Amino acid sequence: MSDVFEQAQKYDTPLLVEYYFRGEKIEDPIHFFEVNQSFLEFIFPSPAETLAMVNKYIIYRETHKLVISEHGFQMIHLWF
């Protein structure tokens, strides 16, 4: 999972990726998935799928945030 966070941090402009589980924001996703490894393997999109989505999402990074949950991916528009 750390590959996903490293990829998200490579860009000069903000790239906002948030993780949710059962409707609650996960404040520390790295720790959450270290403790709940089975969630990452069986409930959430795979790290490869997530990394692909982050890479695809790069063009929207200034206007949207990427939300990832056990239900998949959502793009949320940021209101400035």
Q: How many domains does one find in the chain?
A: 1
Domain that holds residue 21: 2-77
Encode 54-66: b = buried (16+ Cβ within 10 Å), e = exposed.
beebeeebeebbb
Segment 29-78, tens digit of pLDDT: 889 988 998 988 899 998 889 889 988 888 888 889 999 999 999 999 98
DSSP element (H, E) containing 49: helix 47-57
8 Å CB contact between 49 and 69: no
Segment 6-26, tens digit of pLDDT: 777 776 667 788 999 999 999
> Phi and psi at residue 22, in whole multiples of 5°?
55, 40
- Output the pTM of the full model: 0.79
List the structure tokens of 59.
Answer: 């063009």
